[in-house]
Amino acid sequence: DTGVSQDPRHKITKRGQNVTFRCDPISEHNRLYWYRQTLGQGPEFLTYFQNEAQLEKSRLLSDRFSAERPKGSFSTLEIQRTEQGDSAMYLCASSQHSGQGDSPLHFGNGTRLTVT
């Protein structure tokens, strides 16, 4: 078990550019979550998948954000036409959901996005 891995660790981009982040969950986990965290705040929920199905998306999430998990394993989060307000740490987490309940969320180290 290598844990949740995210790539890249850091991304600096200019306003208006598109960026894409990748998350590889713990292999046996069927749920994958994306969160965003800014300095001094708790993680803010963006969206989550169970296998390849996107089950929920935050109502606060802009249309510029899209996430996919095409084969139910790794996931990508794309931000189009980035804005300075998108600067944050983007955290991925995974868990195992079953009829007996859910395992805790395990977080990755995050991708830090800076929009200049």
Tell me if the bond preceding 25 is cis, omega within 30° of 0. no
CA distance 97 to 23: 18
Alpha carbon dihedral 110, 66, 55, 99, in 10-degree steps, equals -30
Q: What distance in Å separates the CA atoms of residue 36 and residue 34, rounded to the nearest whole number?
A: 7
Interface with another protein, residue 25, by CB under 8 A? no
Q: Which of 79, 91, 113, 115 binds another protein (CB under 8 A)?
A: 91
Q: x/- string (CB under 8 A) for another protein, residues 47-76?
A: -x-x----xx--x-----------------
Q: Give the residue, chosen from 19, 21, 26, 43, that forms a contact with another protein under the rule CB under 8 A.
A: 43
Judge whether 70 and 53 are in contact, CB under 8 Å: no
Q: How far is the CB of 17 from another protein (least distance, A)?
A: 25
Which stretches of the chain bind another protein, using CB under 8 A? 31, 33, 35, 40-45, 48, 50, 55-56, 59, 91, 97, 101-102, 104-110
